């Protein structure tokens, strides 16, 4: 039997997220929402804190831009096709709600006495004012590549290889070469150096 906090969390997912996202075409799986737009995917993940329990639930919101070319080049370990429901950590450009709101890392708490309607309203605000406008700026391959030029790796919560791989996959070899040289100059560990060189060879960047 679910606790009051768990019931409130389920209602927040339903009323604060699903009711807005479903009409836009997002598909729900557990606490994840995914929209495929041509060659770009948009992901919203509601992440529970591992330090909470069924009576005290803490959660944040992660968002991601899924780029199939990047996934196939970096995450396709078993050589299978693209996933029907990609995972947010496998996205190229990743932002938490605190990043999108230009504030500290933001978490929300649900306990028995929590006003769930207030949290539902806050989630709707997060979607309409921050998450969906950010997605609108990144709803095509062209826009994604333009945004990639502006972002530091730390801004995207991504692997250091992300830019190198994407520029290589989209045949922007001058930019890929720049990323490759930066990685090589950062004194990588021996194991990471092997990986960098593998991608350098793949994209013809080795001298």
Domain map of the chain by residue range?
Answer: 4-139, 159-202
User: DSSP strand E in 57-134: where?
Assistant: 57-66, 93-96, 108-110
Whether the Cβ atoms of residue 94 and residue 70 lie closer than 8 Å to each other: no
Residue 40 pLDDT level (bands cut at 50, 70, 90): very high
Residue 156 pLDDT level (bands cut at 50, 70, 90): low
Q: Tens of pLDDT along 105-118? A: 999 999 999 999 99
Please provide the size of the chain in residues: 207
For residue 153, pLDDT over 70 is answered with: no
Mean pLDDT of all residues in the chain? 93
- The pLDDT, as a whole number, for residue 26 is 97
Q: pTM of the prediction?
A: 0.92
Q: Whole-angstrom Cα distance, residue 160 to residue 166?
A: 11
- The pLDDT, as a whole number, for residue 157 is 76
Label each residue of 63-85 as H, E or C. Answer: EEEECHHHHHHHCCCCCCCCCCC
Distance of CA 130 to the CA centre of its chain: 14
Q: Whole-angstrom Cα distance, residue 176 to residue 155?
A: 18
- The pLDDT, as a whole number, for residue 43 is 98
Residue 52 pLDDT level (bands cut at 50, 70, 90): confident
């Amino acid at each position: 039997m679910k606790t009051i906090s768990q019931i409130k969390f389920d209602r927040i997912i339903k009323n604060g997220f699903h009711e807005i996202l479903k009409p836009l075409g997002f598909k729900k799986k557990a606490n994840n929402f995914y929209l495929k737009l041509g060659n770009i995917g948009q992901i919203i993940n509601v992440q529970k804190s591992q330090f909470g329990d069924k009576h005290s639930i803490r959660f944040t919101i992660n968002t991601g831009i899924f780029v199939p070319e990047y996934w196939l080049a970096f995450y396709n370990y078993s050589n299978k096709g693209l996933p029907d429901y990609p995972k947010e950590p496998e996205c190229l450009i990743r932002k938490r709600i605190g990043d999108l709101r230009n504030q500290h890392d933001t978490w929300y708490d649900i306990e028995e006495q929590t006003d769930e309607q207030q949290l539902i309203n806050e989630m709707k605000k997060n979607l309409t004012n921050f998450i969906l406008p950010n997605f609108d700026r990144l709803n095509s391959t062209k826009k994604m590549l333009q945004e990639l030029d502006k972002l530091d790796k730390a801004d995207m919560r991504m692997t250091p290889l992300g830019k190198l791989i994407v520029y290589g996959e989209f045949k922007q070899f001058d930019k890929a070469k720049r990323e490759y040289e930066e990685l090589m100059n950062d004194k990588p560990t021996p194991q990471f150096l092997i990986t960098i060189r593998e991608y350098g060879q793949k994209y013809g960047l080795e001298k």
